Chain A
Amino acid sequence: QLVLTQSPSASASLGASVKLTCTLSSEHSNYAIAWHQQQVEKGPRYLMKVNNDGSHTKGDGIPDRFSGSSSGAERYLIISSLQSDDEADYYCQTWDTGLYVFGSGTKVTVL
């Protein structure tokens, strides 16, 4: 079964960096994923696609502060120089033939 696992929460200070992890089910460890940001009371926004080799393709207008990487079954979203409006829920998403799956989301708090 295709499953994505995310930690419920993460926090870091204003101006610091935070690294979010999305873990694929073991039999799907080579799959690509996408990261989406959802600020309070707003709809999701596509951030980037992260491939198995760590390469990533960002959406339109996504700042350089956002980057992605990969290691084994783990896919990462790194946010550097944290700003107050980075406080949001972050969801990872993946896909298989005719099937799409979301992780449960990580709530990022900027201290």
Chain B
Amino acid sequence: EVQLVQSGAEVKKPGESLRISCQESGYNLNNYYISWVRQKPGKGLEWMGRIDPIDSKINYSPSFQGHVTISRDKSISKVYLQWRSLKASDTAMYYCARHPRGQSGHFDHWGQGTLVTVSS
């Protein structure tokens, strides 16, 4: 069974750092990218960036380039989303999703989401 299991909710203060994770299982990891998607309260879905399973090359949305870092640890099948200095505006639900390497980019499985709250 394909599973993307995300780490639990976080409450942080502005300026703090944070890393959340997405654990992949149940499929050949080499065949799928992992992307991160942000959803602010009451708003729509925003693509943040993706990581390649083979060479760990990362493509960021211009809106998020420089604000977050995506990485992976292949040895434990985890993908990470990291902030060095959180802002209140980073308060949102964050989802990981997989999509196939190749021509089709449809997100066919989603994680359950990680709620990040940034408040002083």
* Structural contact, B59 and A59, CB atoms closer than 8 A: no
| Bound CA–CA A27/B88 (angstroms) | 37
Which chain B residues in 25-39 approach chain A with CB under 8 Å?
Answer: 35, 37
Choose one: B45, B59, B104, B112; the contact of A105 (CB below 8 Å): B45
Query: For chain B, which range describes its interface: under 10, 10 to 19, 20 to 34, or 35 or more residues?
Result: 20 to 34
- Contacts A32-B104, A95-B106 hold; do A100 and B50 have CB atoms under 8 A apart? yes
The 4 closest A-B pairs by CB, nearest first: A95-B105, A34-B106, A98-B59, A100-B47
Q: Residues of B with Cβ closer than 8 Å to A?
A: 35, 37, 44-47, 50, 59, 61, 93, 95, 97, 99, 104-113
Q: Residues of A with Cβ closer than 8 Å to B?
A: 32-34, 36, 43-46, 49, 59, 89, 91, 93-96, 98-105
24 sample A-B contacts, Cβ–Cβ < 8 Å, listed by A number: A32-B104, A32-B106, A43-B93, A44-B97, A44-B107, A44-B110, A45-B110, A46-B106, A46-B108, A49-B106, A59-B108, A89-B44, A93-B45, A93-B106, A93-B107, A95-B106, A99-B47, A99-B59, A100-B50, A100-B105, A101-B47, A102-B44, A102-B46, A105-B45
